[in-house]
Amino acid sequence: MQNFTTKIVNLMKSEGLYASQGGPIILSQIENEYQNVEAAFHEKGAAYVKWAAKMAVDLGTGVPWVMCKQTDAPDPVINTCNGMRCGETFGGPNSPNKPSMWTEDWTSFYQVYGGEPYIRSAEDIAFHVALFIAKKGSYINYYMYHGGTNFGRTSSAYVITSYYDQAPLDEYGLLRQPKWGHLKELHAVIKNCSTPLLQGLQTNFSIGPLQQAYVFEQGKGACAAFLVNNDSTRNATVQFQDKAFELLPKSIGILPDCRNMVFNTAEVRTMPNKRIATVSEVFDAVSSWKEWKEEIPNFLDTSLQSDSLLEQMNTTKDVSDYLWYTFSFQPNSSCSQPVLHIESLGHVAHSYINSKYVEAGHGSHDTIGFSMDVPISLNDGMNNVSILSVMVGLQDSGAYMESKYAGLNNVNIQCSGSNSYDFTNYTWGYQENGRWVAARSGGGSIDGSDGKGENQFGYHVPRSFLKPSGNVLIVLEELNGDPLQISLNTISVADFNSPNSYNHLPQFI
């Protein structure tokens, strides 16, 4: 940890990037949400927090260090808030000489396979940003302000490749309206309040049963007020400085001069827009595709064998998401109505009996593992069972990650009655690989849009990935999908009240 952190800091110093050197870096973070796992390490957890803080400060960057969601961050490291409602949930700095900082204001949330996108409204984001500022918040960083794409195998377990597409700037870098425009307007108003916010004295007081005023005054000069209506169902008429103000439900009215309300967080004046997908090319010509089918391995074909079920990540060494588990056995005549029982901790399994596909099973983001019971047919003689275990990303957080287990952990064949065969401790063969289908199309297909997706229908293709001609699209298909339905689209956005669209970007479906 110290070697890594020192290396990064020295790289920044060598380029003169810290503000203390005249550069743009004003803040650094050491650790991230460690408090979520701290208790799992007992007394060593608290000791590590102190060690990490001192180690970082001793590197002498000349700029502050923060620890996100770490209420016990030692001085001078600043404890900060992550979340969607830090104006309500943050307990504040743990020392009076530290500022109140919101390092991750979640504009949306990541999406998992099979899940719906999380839609956080522009009004909700604006309310909580304004509330945090009203409560002496000095810094807000959006997570994410610009969505993106997790290419290749960089997405975490069960998280789709599209990341924070509902951010103010979406996965393609296109505006999400009204979110982008409403926040732009909010920050322009807050900037107009900068003098009393930075130099004034804050007071707060009740202006109704569910209403509060936060006022920043600089003597008899500059003044700014934030009028908060916490009632989520009703408008509120409040009196402030001998004037009446109408506040929308769950909203904050901002008065940069303490006299005129120029912005209300629940009043969105930016028109929404919509995303448009225009088909550029459909890869529906059979002649443009070439197919490679992987042979289903038999136990005798494998070069790696073990007398037990091997853990998948340690076996593949993170080279592949795919690992074949295979064994051979001969049942006795009393095994009728056999059922293949599989238990796995990650994340998908495809089962084959004598090279014939039987069934697939999978877990989810919220379940550690899964099991499947598959009725099968067996030959009287030797049978080969092949199971393709698939990883869908690595775990993104948690304690003792180095001890996490993936792959098959229990396999048996149950016969009618009490007879069964347990293969958990049995001689298995292993082989890395997947099942590949590849396409080559005359100049129109895509090279390099890495991703995988059950229930994800589209993938962002950056312009920089595309060549003028000779692009190659490779599709890995696990469940016999039809590549003739794949198309290359361009993505644009248009205002609801305007026929003009803009910012065409590629996507394939």
Catalytic residues: 33, 104
Amino acid letter, residue 145: Y
Rounded-to-integer distance, Cα 66 and Cα 80, Å: 7
Beta strands at 100-106 and 137-143: parallel, antiparallel or unpaired? parallel
Angle at alpha carbon of residue 124, lines to 118 and 125, rounded to 5°: 85
Alpha helices in 68-114 (DSSP H): 86-89
Structure token pair of residue 308? 């037990």
Handedness of CA 139, 140, 146, 148 (dihedral sign): positive
Distance from the Cα of residue 36 to its chain's centroid:
17
Characterize 219-247 residue by residue with b for buried, 16 or more Cβ atoms within 10 angstroms of its Cβ, and e for exposed: eeebbbbbbbbbbeeeebebebeeeebeb
Q: Which residue has the tokens 């396999």?
A: 411
List Cβ neighbours of 390 (8 Å cut-off, separation of 6 or more): 321, 322, 347, 348, 349, 350, 478
- Tell me the residue ranges of DSSP E strands in 363-500: 370-375, 383-390, 408-414, 420-422, 428-432, 436-440, 459-460, 472-476, 487-495
CA dist 485 and 281 (Å) reads: 11
Looking up tokens 């909580």 gives 128
Whole-angstrom distance, CA of residue 508 vs CA of residue 185: 34
Nearest CA-CA partner of 101 in 73, 123, 61:
73
Pairing of strands 501-508, 487-495: antiparallel
**CA gap 145, 183 in Å, rounded:** 10
